[in-house]
Amino acid sequence: MTDPLIPPKRKDPLVVTRAGHVSPTLRSRSATAMAARAGMGRFVLQVCDDCAKATYPQRDRCPFCWGTLSWQDQPNGAVIEAETTIRSSIDLFFKEHLPWRIGSARLDAGPMATVHLHGDVARGDRVRLELKLDRAGNPALFAMPERETPHMADDPQLRVFTAHPKFRRVLVTDGRSEIGQAVAEALLKAGAKTVFLGNADPLMRYPGQEQIEAIPGIEPVHLSLTDTRSIETLAGQLGGRVEIVVNTARFTRQGGVGFGGHLSNLQSGLDLEVTGLMRLAQGFAPALSARSDDGDRSAAALVDIASIYGLTGKAGYAGSSATAAARLSLMASLRGEMAQTGIRVMSVLTGPIEDGWHQNVPPPKTTSAQIARAVVTALEQGQETICADEVAKDVLARWLQDPILTIREENK
Amino acid sequence: MARQKPYDGVALCAPVTVPYMRFSDKSAHWWTGAALAALARQTGLGPADFDGFCFASFSAVPDTVVGMVQHLGLSPRWMDHIPTGGASGVMALRRAARAVQMGDAELVACVAADTNQIDSFRQTLQGFSRFSQDATYPYGFGGPNATFALIADNFMRSYDVSREDFAKLCVAQRANALSNPHALMKKPLTHAQYMQARPISDPIHLFDCVMPCAGAEAFIVTTPEKAQELGLSTARLAATIERHNAFAEDGVQTRGGWARDIDDLWSAAGYGPQDMDMVQAYDDYPVIVAMQLADLGFCDKASLSQFIADTDFTIGGSLPLNTNGGQLSAGQAGAAGGFQNVTEGLRQILHDPLGEQIPNAQRALISGFGLVNYDRGICTGAAVLEQDVLR
Ligand SMILES: [Zn+2]
């Protein structure tokens, strides 16, 4: 049984913070391809195009018939055939996290694999393997108990592979929006200690303000993503006290490119969503990175919520889609940077939001509750990319299958 | 399968060991040169005299045998590079023997050398193999200790072998090491000390692990005529086997390639396990020694514990094992760790040991095991050596 996590003590300011080392990062291209799929929450292995056998570790050709390989979703059951508790390591990250348990797993899909073991898993057990990302964004097989056990998510090894909100302090950038409020509430329900809730204009009331600010754990803060100084000031105040940052800022307007679009809308969207994301990252990435291996309350993640149409463009929402595209691109670059410091960079993808700017779009549309649920799931699972709703899932599936076709379809 | 042809016209001679050092600021090139200089002292030969060169090393990067040949002024008409660590001695022996037998070379220097600088072990591990970089080291980075812990965990339960059994092997090897002036471990090891050692990666404890170090080993493969001309004592090669990636279908490794080919070894040699005066086996973790004893035909796995209890593995015992102390007690100098089984076996049958002599030793079984590419040792080999002419 897992010991429940206890609320971390206030930090002793004289104790040196543990440097945020990441586990060894050298990987083959095939391992990186596995990571890309792991980031979307899939459990995949390479399967031979000719003999249909699954293989692991990551190869470039089938070891049974020399056929070509492709990534396919596979059954994730396994049996642990041997285990060890590592008590000595020369790696800069693991030597601070000993003892560390690993095992040899026989996968239902066929291959043997070395896997991380959850504390409730032992030799001889049937397990459920999850394909996680490690702190450096590389693929990691993690053996979970087959059935839920008490305080399962609190397992210290598992927490290295997730960004679970429990006892963490979160900054949500835009509390003035319904999305920001839903996300803040969901994070507190998931165990977050505090949600610092951003407000770009403290002198102006906003809908829902009284209810949300009355919830224990909510701390309103002044934050405007279009104002570099406001971010610098807040980062100076909160930098050492925030473990997760969730960017809920959004600026959607209808309009095309040659027809019906307003340049001022595009400029406002770019300033808030794109330049704003970069301001936010420049303000908080260094502080998060410095505390990525800081005990039970390590800094863990930066989450951004963006439209799925950033992948494709969208007829009638050209400017907003272009803004989302820039936002996704910045996130991809930031992910590469933060992989060196052990902070997860996550994107929640949404379809058209159920709000006043999408009145002409037929349902289904994305609700604030769906977005909040996706944020919490991504953090709890350590998942890099997650779709909040059915529209986003559908567009992403088609885009993965055939990007150039999907781009045409969405801009008709 | 075609039967192995005899190694007629092949003589093994001049085993040398360059004394090991725990850490060295010298390069693999320096240690290789030291081994060749030791061969030169035994034979009176220089760089121009060797027409064959077989090389094994982990730490010579970016150089291979090519760089080493120019670095050390050799001009061979035959050369080979053996990247198989603990199996490299047996493999070098086989390749050089055939080259000499067929006349592709007449005088082959087989050399393994590795340095051990501060932090070089960690750096070697990081880039060791693609599978381990992708799928082993990110899992706790326990290094070979963790991989062999998984193998030992499974092996001990499958065949009812205990740490007590491993203790006997390690204690005997330490006793053997005490007469070897070059051994890094110079104090006796008691059963109690072995049992009480600190855990490294369960069930692997401190005295199951080797001490990485710098060092070099070398020997000469030539014709009987040339050896006579040089005044060198010689051994003959009775038979060999080699196998890689055997039993890939096994889950956790419980056997090595020997199990597949062992009958061929004994039938080609014309001897059996009972005819051997010693075993010089790969010993990075005693579980692998136990695995070899069974796979090489000394007993079956179910009776391993009993066999170990009934056998005296010291130099004066019923089956002397790793008589220089093995890697566990003499030190593991990288690829040279895969050569010391050959050099020590040769020395014992040529009656020129570093430490104590096995009384009247005539025949040695050499066994190599190398390269944990992912979750198991991939390369295995074995050779039977027999005393030929003492000079
Ligand atoms: Zn195939």
Instruction: Tell me, yes or no, whether B2 lies in a domain.
Output: no
- pLDDT tens for each residue of B323-377: 999 999 999 999 999 999 999 999 999 999 999 999 999 999 999 999 999 999 9
Q: What is the pLDDT of residue A26?
A: 85
Instruction: Tell me, yes or no, whether A6 lies in a domain.
Output: no
- Range of A259's domain? 169-409
A63/B contact by beta carbon, under 8 A: yes
- pLDDT tens for each residue of B341-350: 999 999 999 9
Shared domain check, A211 and A277: yes
Q: What is the pLDDT of residue B166?
A: 98
Shared domain check, B220 and B203: no
Of chain A residues 110-139, which have a CB less than 8 A from chain B? 112-116, 123, 134, 138
Non-local (6+) Cβ contacts of A395 within 8 A are A308, A309, A311, A312, A351, A406, A410
Count the domains in chain A: 2
- The shortest CB-CB distance from A86 to any of B146, B151, B153 is to B146
- The shortest CB-CB distance from B150 to any of A23, A84, A87 is to A84
Q: How far apart are CA B39 and CA B15, in angstroms?
A: 8
Domain termination residue (choose one: B175, B201, B230): B230
Instruction: Tell me, yes or no, whether B32 lies in a domain.
Output: yes
Shared domain check, A325 and A252: yes
Instruction: Tell me, yes or no, whether A11 lies in a domain.
Output: no
Shared domain check, A201 and A86: no
Domain termination residue (choose one: B201, B230, B259): B230
Reduce the secondary structure of chain B to three states and give it as a string. CCCCCCCCCCEEEEEEEEEEECCCCCCHHHHHHHHHHHHHHHHCCCHHHCCEEEEECCCCCCCCHHHHHHHCCCCCCEEEECCCHHHHHHHHHHHHHHHHHCCCCCEEEEEEEECCCCCHHHHHHHCCCHHHHHHCCCCCCCHHHHHHHHHHHHHHHHHCCCHHHHHHHHHHHHHHHCCCCCCCCCCCCCHHHHHHCCEEECCEEHHHCCCECEEEEEEEEECHHHHHHHCCCEEEEEEEEEEECCCCCCCCCCCCCHHHHHHHHHHHHCCCHHHCCCEEECCCCHHHHHHHHHHCCCCCHHHHHHHHHHCCCCCCCCCCECCCCHHHHHCECHHHHHCHHHHHHHHHHCCCCCCCCCCCCCEEEEEEEEEECCCCEEEEEEEEEEEEECC
Shared domain check, B363 and B250: yes
Q: What is the CATH number of the domain that holds B313?
A: 3.40.47.10
Q: Which residue of B has its CA nearest to A101?
A: B140
Measure A128 CA to ligand 1 centroid, in angstroms.
26
Shared domain check, A119 and A262: no
Shared domain check, B160 and B73: no
Shared domain check, B158 and B66: no
Domain termination residue (choose one: A156, A178, A212): A156
Instruction: Tell me, yes or no, whether B124 lies in a domain.
Output: no
Shared domain check, A68 and A149: yes
Task: Give the number of other Cβ atoms within 10 Å of residue B249's Cβ.
Answer: 6
- pLDDT tens for each residue of B248-307: 999 999 999 999 999 999 999 999 999 999 999 999 999 999 999 999 999 999 999 999
Instruction: Tell me, yes or no, whether B133 lies in a domain.
Output: no
B201 to A104: CB separation less than 8 angstroms, yes or no: no
Q: What is the pLDDT of residue A23?
A: 75
Residue B204: CA atoms inside 13 Å, Cβ hemisphere, count?
Answer: 28
Instruction: Tell me, yes or no, whether A64 lies in a domain.
Output: yes
Shared domain check, B81 and B191: no
The tens place of each residue's pLDDT in chain A, 412 residues long, gives 788 988 888 777 777 888 888 877 789 999 999 999 999 999 999 999 999 999 999 999 999 999 999 999 999 999 999 999 999 998 889 999 999 999 999 999 999 999 999 999 999 999 999 999 999 999 999 999 999 999 999 999 999 999 999 999 999 999 999 999 999 999 999 999 999 999 999 999 999 999 999 999 999 999 999 999 999 999 999 988 999 999 999 999 999 999 999 999 999 999 999 999 999 999 999 999 999 998 888 999 999 999 999 999 999 999 999 999 999 999 999 999 999 999 999 999 999 998 888 888 888 999 999 999 999 999 999 999 999 999 999 999 999 999 999 999 999 9
Measure A47 CA to ligand 1 centroid, in angstroms.
8
Count the domains in chain B: 2
- The shortest CB-CB distance from B140 to any of A31, A63, A86 is to A86
Residue A52 Rama label (left phi>0; alpha psi -120 to 50; beta): left
Task: Flag whether the ipTM exceeds 0.85.
Answer: yes
Instruction: Tell me, yes or no, whether B6 lies in a domain.
Output: no
Query: Nearest C-alpha of chain B: how many angstroms from A42?
Result: 18
Q: What is the CATH number of the domain that holds A196?
A: 3.40.50.720
Instruction: Tell me, yes or no, whether A5 lies in a domain.
Output: no
Shared domain check, A333 and A197: yes
Shared domain check, A346 and A302: yes
- Range of B329's domain? 140-211+235-387
Query: Nearest C-alpha of chain B: how many angstroms from A47?
Result: 17
Of chain A residues 25-44, which have a CB less than 8 A from chain B? 26-28, 30-31
Query: Nearest C-alpha of chain B: how many angstroms from A146?
Result: 21
Instruction: Tell me, yes or no, whether A274 lies in a domain.
Output: yes
A81 to B154: CB separation less than 8 angstroms, yes or no: yes
Instruction: Tell me, yes or no, whether B135 lies in a domain.
Output: no
Shared domain check, A376 and A258: yes
The tens place of each residue's pLDDT in chain B, 391 residues long, gives 678 999 999 999 999 999 999 999 999 999 999 999 999 999 999 999 999 999 999 999 999 999 999 999 999 999 999 999 999 999 999 999 999 999 999 999 999 999 998 877 777 766 789 999 999 989 998 889 999 999 999 999 999 999 999 999 999 999 999 999 999 999 999 999 999 999 999 999 999 999 999 999 999 999 999 999 999 999 999 999 999 999 999 999 999 999 999 999 999 999 999 999 999 999 999 999 999 999 999 999 999 999 999 999 999 999 999 999 999 999 999 999 999 999 999 999 999 999 999 999 999 999 999 999 999 999 999 999 999 999 9
Domain termination residue (choose one: A156, A177, A210): A156
Shared domain check, B195 and B312: yes
B-chain residues near A24 (CB < 8 A)? 126, 133, 137-138, 141
Shared domain check, B180 and B94: no
Q: What is the pLDDT of residue B64?
A: 94
Domain termination residue (choose one: A156, A180, A201): A156
Shared domain check, B198 and B70: no
Domain termination residue (choose one: B202, B230, B258): B230
Measure A54 CA to ligand 1 centroid, in angstroms.
8
Residues with CB under 5 A from ligand 1 (ion): A 48, 50-51, 62, 64-65, 67
